[in-house]
Amino acid sequence: MKDIAPAPQCGSPSADPTFEAAIIGGGVVGCAVLRDLTLAGLKCVLLERGADLLSGASKGNSAILHTGFDAPQQSLEVSLVQAGRRRYLSIHERLGLPLLKTDALMVAWTPKEAARFPELLAKASMNGVPGVRPIPLDELKQIHPHLSSAAVAALTVPGEHIIDPWSAPLAYALQAIANGARIERLSEVKQAKREEGCWVLTTPRGNFGAKVVINCAGNFGDLIESFARKPPFQIKPRKGQFVIFDKTAQHLMPTIVLPVPNERTKGIVLCPTIFGNVLVGPTAEDQDDRQRAGVDTATLQKLLAEAARIVPALAEELVTATFAGLRPATERRDYIIEALPAESWITVAGIRSTGLTAALGISEYVTGLVEQHFVRLKPLCEPVWPKVPNLAEHLPRDHQRPGRGSLVCFCELVTEDEIEAALSGPLPAGDLGGLKRRTRAALGRCQGFNCLAAICSMANDRLLSPLPLQK
Amino acid sequence: MIQEHAALVIIGGGPTGLSAAREAAKHGLEEVILLEREAEAGGAPRHCGHLGFGVRDFGRVQTGPRYAERLRNLTNGLDLRCTHAVTNVGPGGLVEVSGPQGSYRIEADRVLVATGIYEKSSAARLTPGGRPFGILTTGALQRFAYFYGNIPCQAPIVVGTEIVAYSTILTLRHFGAKPVAFIDSCPQLRTSAFVALGARFIFGVPSFTGTWIASIEGEEQVTGVTVESLQGKRTVPCDGVVFSGDWVPETTLIRASRLAIDPKTHGPVIDDYFRTQAPQIFAAGNVLRSARSAGTCALEGRAAARSIIADLKASRGKH
C-alpha cells in the first residue's frame, strides 16, 4: 500500500470543484485514462465536447483487437498496442465485454505483395507476436472457404480478435463513474488558464479546476494543446469510409482478411463484426475538416467491389450501413505521448486506428507519467466492477431472457428494457447516436424503418440534446 | 429448450399472414401458430392513415388502421402470438423463436413466410454525404405521425415518385407541415402525372425527375440537400430527407436458410404453389417482390393457405 497522498494543493477562486486530473476528450483513449486514474485513487473529471462520449474518432473503426504484428518496430505504438491487448484480455470478462476469437489472414493477391512476406514475418518476430506463419493455399481454402481463388500467398496471424468498439470505452467510463469519477458532456473546453498552480478549464457548463490536464482530444488535439504550448504536431484528420453487410453474410467471413499494408495505411480490411455483420473498410483520405465525415457513392461502390473481389459471394449480400470515421493522424509515424512537468500537462495525440486496442496500454502509460511527474497514486483497495450489457451476437442477448418485454428494434432484436436501461443509469445516452451505440437499435438492415419513431419517442425528453420532434 | 409442434407456422401478422391464418382456420386446419414480432398484428396498414384499403379483399374502402383492425378481428380465437420474433427457420421446418418467456422452438410441418417489405434505407442506397438527424423512410415517418403523434422534420425533401412518396403530403399535413419537393433520379415520374400535378397545384410541392442527391448537409439536423441533375447542382434548404419506395423484401430468414433468391424480384424463388426451394417452407405477400396493395397480399395469403392445406393432405394421405 502506498501512503495516502495529501489533498491537492491547488485551490482556484474561479473554479469549483477542483480535481486532481482533468481529461479532455471522451473517446476511447479518454475513457481508458479516466478509468485508470480513478482506480489509481485520483479525483478526476472528463470533459467531452459532444452530447455523448465516442462522438469523434472513436465513433467509427474496424473494431479489431490487434496483436501489433505489423506495427512499426520499437515504436511506442507497438508496445502500447500489445499492453492494451493484454490488459483487455485480462479484464474484459469482469466488465462484461465480449471477445470474438477469430484469427486473421494476410492475403497477397500479387507476387509483388507476396514478396513482402519475409519482411513482415521478421517484423512479427521482432514485435514478439508468436504463430505468424505462411500457410499453403489449400490450408487457406480450408480456413476461409469463401475467399477468392485468386490469392497468391497468405500468412496466418493468430490472436487478431474482434471486440465491441463502443461497449468497451463505455465500460471504462462506467467503471470510472462507479468509483467516483465525473463525466461532463456538452463541455467543450473553450479556454484553459493556469491560476495559482492550477488549471482552470472554461466550458459552456462551467469552470473546472484541475491540478493536471490530460489532452486526449483526438481530432482536436493540436487545438487543445495550444493552451499549454505551441503544438509541436498538427492533426491531419484521415477519413475512412466503411460498408457494413447484412448479418446473413456472416457465414462468409470466418476470419479477418488483411491486405498487405503499404507505407501509408494498413489498407482495406474485410472482417466480421462482433454484432454478426461483415465490415469492409477503411479508405484513407486526408481532409482538413475535423468533424464532418461524409461518405461518397463512388468510394462506397469501390469498397463493395473490393469486398466482392476478396469474397465473391459478398456480391449477393445486402448493404446494412455505411459510415465514415476520422482518425487523428499527425505528421509523425508514432503516437505522441509525453508529460510537460512545468505545465502540469500530459499530451496524448496522434492515436490512429490502433487506438481501440491500445487504449488500456495508453492509460497505463499515462498513469505512470502522472505518478512520475505530478501526483502520488493511492490505488483503490476494492474498486467496483460494473458490467455492461452484452450486444455481441455470439453471446446471450436480452431478448432471450425469460420475462423480457416487447421488442423495439426487430433487425437487431433490441428490447424495450434495453432502451430504457440505456436512457437511465449513471451515464445515460446523451444523443440518438449514443443510444444506438449502447443498444444497436436502428443500426440493423432496415435502419429504423420499423423502430426509429419508437426509439426517438422514448428517448426525446431524456437526451442531453433533445430531438427536433414536432407535435 | 421448449419444443412445440404445429401443422403450420405463419411468420408475420400483416395482411398476408392474418388472411392465411383465417383461411387455414376456415378450412379446419388445426395447430396453426401465427408469430408476429410487433406488439400488435396488422402490419404496415396500421401506419397508413389514408383511405384505400380493403377494396380487393373486403369490397369496401377503409383507412389502413381500420382495415388492420378488421383483419385482426377475423383471427380472434386463433393462436396469434405478438412480440414473438422468429430468429431462424431450420431445415425441415424447425422454427426458432424469441418470445417473452425466452427462446423456444416449434417443429412445424409447414412454414409460411409472410414477412413483408421495408423501404431501402439511405445507407443501402449508398447515399452520399453526412448522417445528421432527419434522414428516414416514408414508413418511419408514418410511424412517427400515426403511432406517436409527432414528426421529426417539418419541410423534408422526399426521394422517389412512387405513389407512396406522395403519401408524405397526407402524413405531414396533420402537423401543418409539407415536403419541399419530390425528386427522382429516374427521368420519368413513377406514378400518374395527375398525382404529381395535384401535389404541385393543390399543395404547392413540385416534383423534379432526373434529379438525385449529391450530398446531405447538416451536422446535428439536416439543413439542406445538394441536388444534382444534368443542369447542374444546387443546394435546397430542408430539415429532413424522406426516402420512399424502392422496396426491399424482408428475406432475412430465407437468406439465412440459404434458400434461393430471385435476382429479378429480390424475393425467394417459389413455384406455382408458393413453395420455396425447401419443400416445407412457403412464402407469400410482399416478401415475394416489391410492394403490392394490402388486398392483393391478403388474397395471396388465402391462396397460399389453401395450397399448404392441400399439400398437407396429400403428404398425410401418403403415410
Q: What is the DSSP letter of A27?
A: S
B131 in contact with chain A, both atoms CB, cutoff 8 A: yes
pLDDT tens for A387-405 read 999 999 999 999 999 999 9
> CA-nearest residue of chain B to A399?
B98
Q: What is the DSSP string of A38-83?
A: HHTT--EEEE-SSSSTT-SGGGS---EE---TTSPTT-HHHHHHHH
Q: Which three cell numbers stand for residue A273?
A: 463484426
B298 contacts B57 by C-beta, under 8 angstroms: yes
Measured distance CA(A266)–CA(A258) in Å, rounded: 8
Residues of B in contact with A468 (CB under 8 A): 133-134, 152-153, 221, 239
Q: What is the pLDDT of residue A3?
A: 41
Do B136 and B58 share a domain, yes or no?
Answer: no
Do B126 and B179 share a domain, yes or no?
Answer: yes
Out of A322, A410, A470, whose CB is closest to B123? A322
Report B:179-238 residues touching A (Cβ under 8 A). 215-216, 219-221
Q: How many CB atoms within 10 Å of residue A190?
A: 11
Contacts of A237 (CB under 8 A, 6+ apart): A219, A286, A287, A288, A289, A290, A326, A327, A328, A329
> CA-nearest residue of chain A to B139?
A449
- B139·A292 Cβ contact <8 A: no
Do B218 and B306 share a domain, yes or no?
Answer: no
What mean pLDDT is predicted for residues A406-423? 97
> CA-nearest residue of chain A to B102?
A402
A121 contacts A129 by C-beta, under 8 angstroms: no
Out of B37, B127, B248, whose CB is closest to A410? B37
A84 contacts A68 by C-beta, under 8 angstroms: no
Q: Look at residue A409 and tell me whether its pLDDT is greater than 70.
A: yes
Q: How many CB atoms within 10 Å of residue A14?
A: 12
- B140·A294 Cβ contact <8 A: no
Q: What is the pLDDT of residue A353?
A: 87
Measured distance CA(B117)–CA(B131) in Å, rounded: 23
Let me know if domain A1-99+162-235+331-392 sits in CATH 3.20.20.450.
Answer: no
**How close does chain B come to A329, measured CA to CA in Å?**
21
Do B234 and B304 share a domain, yes or no?
Answer: no
Number of domains in chain B: 2
**Least reliable range by pLDDT among A265-269, A395-399, B50-54:** A265-269
- The model's confidence at residue A7, banded by pLDDT at 50, 70 and 90, is very low
- Domain of residue B192 covers 121-243
3-state SS of A356-415?
HHHHHHHHHHHHHHHHHHCCCCCCCCCCCCCCCCCCCCCCCCHHHCCCCCCEEECCCCEE
Q: Is A142 helix (H, G, I), strand (E, B) or coil?
A: helix
User: Shortest CA distance to A117 belongs to which of A258, A310, A268, A303?
Assistant: A258
Report B:264-303 residues touching A (Cβ under 8 A). none
Report A:44-103 residues touching B (Cβ under 8 A). none
Q: What is the pLDDT of residue A58?
A: 95
Q: What is the pLDDT of residue B316?
A: 84
Element (H, E) at B226: strand B224-229
Q: Look at residue A471 and tell me whether its pLDDT is greater than 80.
A: yes
Q: Which three cell numbers stand for residue A284?
A: 484513407
Contacts of B197 (CB under 8 A, 6+ apart): none
What mean pLDDT is predicted for residues A447-454? 97
B252 in contact with chain A, both atoms CB, cutoff 8 A: yes
Q: What is the pLDDT of residue B222?
A: 97
Q: What is the pLDDT of residue A6?
A: 40
> CA-nearest residue of chain A to B154?
A470
Measured distance CA(A128)–CA(A52) in Å, rounded: 37
**How close does chain B come to A226, measured CA to CA in Å?**
25
Ordered by start, the domain boundaries in chain A are 1-99+162-235+331-392, 104-158+236-329, 398-462
A319 in contact with chain B, both atoms CB, cutoff 8 A: yes
User: Shortest CA distance to A167 belongs to which of A462, A353, A429, A463?
Assistant: A429
User: Shortest CA distance to A258 belongs to which of A247, A267, A249?
Assistant: A267
- A296·B128 Cβ contact <8 A: yes
Q: Is A115 helix (H, G, I), strand (E, B) or coil?
A: coil
Q: Look at residue B318 and tell me whether its pLDDT is greater than 70.
A: no
End-to-end CA distance of chain A: 59
Q: What is the pLDDT of residue A15?
A: 58
Measured distance CA(B24)–CA(B18) in Å, rounded: 10
Measured distance CA(B119)–CA(B291) in Å, rounded: 9
Residues of B in contact with A290 (CB under 8 A): none
Residues of A in contact with B153 (CB under 8 A): 468
What's the angle, vertex CA B270, arms to CA B265 and CA B276, rounded to 5? 120
Measured distance CA(A219)–CA(A327) in Å, rounded: 7
Of the three residues B213, B243, B273, the one that is the final residue of a domain is B243
The residue to which cell 493536471 is assigned: A212
Do B239 and B125 share a domain, yes or no?
Answer: yes
Q: Look at residue B49 and tell me whether its pLDDT is greater than 70.
A: yes
Do B92 and B168 share a domain, yes or no?
Answer: no
Element (H, E) at B66: helix B64-74
Of the three residues B190, B214, B243, the one that is the final residue of a domain is B243
Q: What is the DSSP letter of B285?
A: G
Q: Is A440 helix (H, G, I), strand (E, B) or coil?
A: coil
Residues of A in contact with B256 (CB under 8 A): 247-248
Measured distance CA(B109)–CA(B94) in Å, rounded: 9
pLDDT tens for A25-45 read 999 999 999 999 999 999 999
Average pLDDT, chain B: 95
Out of B87, B101, B139, whose CB is closest to A402? B101
Q: What is the pLDDT of residue B299?
A: 97
A262 in contact with chain B, both atoms CB, cutoff 8 A: no
User: Shortest CA distance to B241 belongs to which of B315, B149, B131?
Assistant: B131
Out of B128, B134, B220, whose CB is closest to A294? B128
A390 in contact with chain B, both atoms CB, cutoff 8 A: no
In CATH, what number is assigned to the domain containing residue B231?
3.50.50.60
pLDDT tens for A298-350 read 999 999 999 999 999 999 999 999 999 999 999 998 999 999 999 999 999 99
pLDDT tens for A126-175 read 999 999 999 999 999 999 999 999 999 999 999 999 999 999 999 999 99
At position A56, the amino acid (one-letter code) is G
- A446·B118 Cβ contact <8 A: yes
Q: Look at residue A253 and tell me whether its pLDDT is greater than 80.
A: yes
Q: What is the DSSP letter of B287?
A: G
Q: What is the pLDDT of residue A10?
A: 53
Q: What is the pLDDT of residue A4?
A: 39
Q: What is the pLDDT of residue B317?
A: 79
What mean pLDDT is predicted for residues A222-236? 97
- B148·A406 Cβ contact <8 A: no
Q: Output A197 or A147, whichever has higher pLDDT.
A: A147
Do B287 and B234 share a domain, yes or no?
Answer: no
The residue to which cell 405531414 is assigned: B172
- The model's confidence at residue A9, banded by pLDDT at 50, 70 and 90, is very low
- The model's confidence at residue A14, banded by pLDDT at 50, 70 and 90, is low
Q: Look at residue B40 and tell me whether its pLDDT is greater than 90.
A: yes
Q: Which three cell numbers stand for residue A336?
A: 505522441
Q: Which CATH architecture has domain A104-158+236-329?
A: 2-Layer Sandwich (3.30)
Percent of chain B with pLDDT over 70: 99
Out of B39, B123, B175, whose CB is closest to A470? B175
At position B164, the amino acid (one-letter code) is V
**How close does chain B come to A370, measured CA to CA in Å?**
36
β-pairing, B240-243 vs B135-137, is parallel
Tell me how far CA of residue A183 lies from CA of A22, A207, A217, A341, B202, in angstroms.
Answer: 10, 14, 15, 25, 53
Q: What is the pLDDT of residue A17?
A: 63
Q: Look at residue B163 and tell me whether its pLDDT is greater than 70.
A: yes
Do B212 and B175 share a domain, yes or no?
Answer: yes
B174 in contact with chain A, both atoms CB, cutoff 8 A: no
- The model's confidence at residue A1, banded by pLDDT at 50, 70 and 90, is very low
- The model's confidence at residue A263, banded by pLDDT at 50, 70 and 90, is confident
